[in-house]
Amino acid sequence: LLTLQRGGAEVDATGNLNTTQQSAIDYLSEHGVHVVGAPTADAADHDRYLWEVVRSGPHLLLDNGGDLFARWIEEPDRRLLGGTEETTSGRMRLEPLRDRLRLPVLVINDSPIKQFAENRHAVGQSVLESFLRLTNKATNGRRVTVFGYGACGKGVAANFRNAYAVVSVVERDPVARLEALLDGFLVPERDEALRSADVVITVTGAQGVVTAADLPLLKDGAILANAGHFPWEIDAAGIEAAADGRVTVLESGHMVNLAGPRPLGNSIESMDLGFALQARCLEAVARGDVGPESCVVPVPRAIDETVAAAFVAGAR
Ligand SMILES: NC(=O)c1ccc[n+]([C@@H]2O[C@H](COP(=O)([O-])OP(=O)(O)OC[C@H]3O[C@@H](n4cnc5c(N)ncnc54)[C@H](O)[C@@H]3O)[C@@H](O)[C@H]2O)c1
């Protein structure tokens, strides 16, 4: 936000439901950002804040989950030039609305940089870091089973292998399973993978990946953790109720790299890359470098290249 401001923008911002921190609001306010609303877990309050932002007559929207564009469509103000959407879920929400949006909207999550820098490398590192910090256990020689070999799962599996764990991957998709095999991971059948695991990590986006029904398979002392977005990948409540202390679910199945004491989340460098994509995409929309034909499309290749080249130059 401060980068946009330094680029000449007047910035109105509001937070997320449940997760906005007062210290962030204070910091932004002290630096001249107009922050709408306050931390809240009340959906009606949050809705009001979103409307206030949309009704402020913006030229650009930086959206997360499609909340702002979906409201703007209900009261379109033609001062809006377009903007960006951060997430996959927002892309899915906005795609069917293209006919009504008819503005450039660039989807940050669909940049390969976001996929490999944040989802693969940063989530992989932060899940390993959180596991070490929360358990104070070594990874060396431990058998770790990772459910899911998408962008995030690849990073989690690689980071635990790099920390000298013996890593197996359970994947629903045969093609991704083959990739895991060719990347050098064990790809046992699901039950065998659970039976041999000292540590089980889910990172699939799916529900009920490991449940209390799996308890007979799990070793005494097994540690379970979820790195997927929602806490429903591991049925933590069911497992804890039935396990009688025999296994541990870290942070009740909430995203292990963002939950618990002193969560650090992803490295700041990986977030910098995503924010640089945001700033460059908003600049392209403001300058008219992309038009309404770019409605809910991935980041233009030229922007990916600019951001990547600048990061590499800074790293030399
Ligand atoms: N912890 C974080 O900081 C963080 C950051 C980004 C994304 N995420 C979340 O991580 C999850 C995965 O994201 P991604 O980008 O890797 O998604 P993805 O779609 O690239 O990969 C998910 C993989 O899981 C597999 N899968 C689905 N159900 C399965 C099951 N029951 N058993 C085994 N494999 C299964 C799919 O076939 C797919 O290959 C999502 O919930 C995402 O929101 C978390």
- Binned at pLDDT 50, 70 and 90, residue 102 comes out as very high
- pLDDT value at position 306? 97
Pairing state between β 199-202 and 143-147 = parallel
123 lines ligand 1 (CB under 6 A): yes
Give the number of the atom of ligand 1 that is nearest the alpha carbon of residue 127.
1
For the Cβ of 193 lying below 6 angstroms from any atom of ligand 1, the answer is no
| Residue 226, pLDDT score | 95
Residue 89 confidence class, pLDDT cut points 50, 70, 90: confident
**pLDDT at res. 258:** 87
Ligand 1 nearest-atom number relative to CA 265: 3
Residues 49-78: pLDDT tens digits?
999 999 999 999 999 989 999 999 999 999
pLDDT given at position 257: 92
Rounded to the nearest angstrom, the distance between the alpha carbon of 114 and the centre of ligand 1 is 14
Give me 248's structure tokens.
């541990």
Q: What is the pLDDT of residue 18?
A: 75
Q: For the residues 145-174, what does the mean pLDDT come to?
A: 97
Alpha helices in the chain (DSSP H): 2-6, 22-30, 43-54, 67-74, 88-94, 98-101, 112-113, 123-135, 151-162, 174-182, 190-196, 236-243, 268-287, 301-315
Q: Is 197 in the pocket of ligand 1 (CB under 6 A)?
A: no
* 28 CA to centre of ligand 1 in angstroms: 32
Q: What is the pLDDT of residue 16?
A: 84
Substitution site in 191, 194, 204, 254 for ligand 1 pocket (most atoms within 8 Å of beta carbon): 204
- 238-289 pLDDT tens trace: 999 999 999 999 999 999 998 888 888 898 888 899 999 999 999 999 999 9
Q: What separation in Å is there between the alpha carbon of 148 and the centre of ligand 1?
A: 6
Q: Which of 115, 203, 258, 267 to mutate to test ligand 1, by most ligand atoms within 8 A of the CB atom?
A: 203
Provide the CB-side half-sphere exposure for 56 (13 A, CA): 18
Q: Which long-range contacts (CB under 8 A, 24 or more apart) does 238-244 make?
A: 238/211, 238/212, 239/210, 239/211, 239/212, 239/214, 239/215, 241/212, 242/212, 242/215, 243/212, 243/215, 243/218
3-state secondary structure of 246: coil
Residue 88 CA to ligand 1 centre (angstroms): 12
Domains within the chain, CATH numbers bracketed: 2-113+267-315 (3.40.50.1480), 119-253 (3.40.50.720)
Q: How big is the chain by its Cα radius of gyration, in Å? A: 21
144 lines ligand 1 (CB under 6 A): no
- Nearest protein CA to atom 38 of ligand 1, as residue: 150
CB of 119 shorter than 6 A to ligand 1: yes
Sequence letter at residue 123: V
Question: Does residue 147 contact residue 201 with C-beta atoms inside 8 Å?
Answer: yes
Q: Which atom of ligand 1 is nearest to the CA of 266?
A: 3
Separation between Cα atoms, residue 162 and residue 140, nearest integer Å: 9
Residue 270's pLDDT is 87
Q: 117 in ligand 1 pocket by Cβ < 6 Å?
A: no
In the reported structure, the alpha carbon of residue 63 is separated from the centroid of ligand 1 by a whole-number distance in angstroms of 22
The pair of structure tokens assigned to 142 is 């431990």
Cβ–ligand 1 contact at 176 (below 6 Å): yes
Q: How far does CA 263 lie from the centroid of its chain? A: 15
